[in-house]
Amino acid sequence: KNEVEQSPQNLTAQEGEFITINCSYSVGISALHWLQQHPGGGIVSLFMLSSGKKKHGRLIATINIQEKHSSLHITASHPRDSAVYICAVAKGGSEKLVFGKGTKLTVNP
């Protein structure tokens, strides 16, 4: 079993819909990252969380340390949000990131 699991693997939505992507992990962590990857490969960091909730524009990320679970929400989704969203954790005591396989989001106009 992977240390970081994401669901769903693929998600198709209509423009304007509220999107939720989930991430569960099985190890102790010092931080959790949500990343966005567009076709062509470049990765952009959206959030780094160690507790609670963060908001940036239409994006909201939450984490529950006790339940080892995080969610990424997108409000009022737009076709330009179409990308792969990746959850990654920094394991406690380690400098490296462990990644989920990603969730491919397609938002149709």
Binding site for another protein (CB under 8 A): 4, 30-31, 33, 35, 40-45, 48, 50, 86, 88, 90, 94-102
Is the alpha carbon torsion for 76, 6, 96, 64 positive or negative? positive
Residue closer to another protein, measured from CB, 42 or 109: 42
72 and 59 in contact (C-beta within 8 Å)?
yes
- In angstroms, what CA-CA distances link 58 with 61, 65, 89, 92, 105? 10, 23, 23, 30, 15
Q: Measured between alpha carbons, how far is 2 from 101 in angstroms, rounded to an integer?
A: 9
Residue closer to another protein, measured from CB, 6 or 77: 6
State the minimum distance, in angstroms, from the CB of residue 15 to another protein: 26
State the minimum distance, in angstroms, from the CB of residue 102 to another protein: 6
State the minimum distance, in angstroms, from the CB of residue 76 to another protein: 25
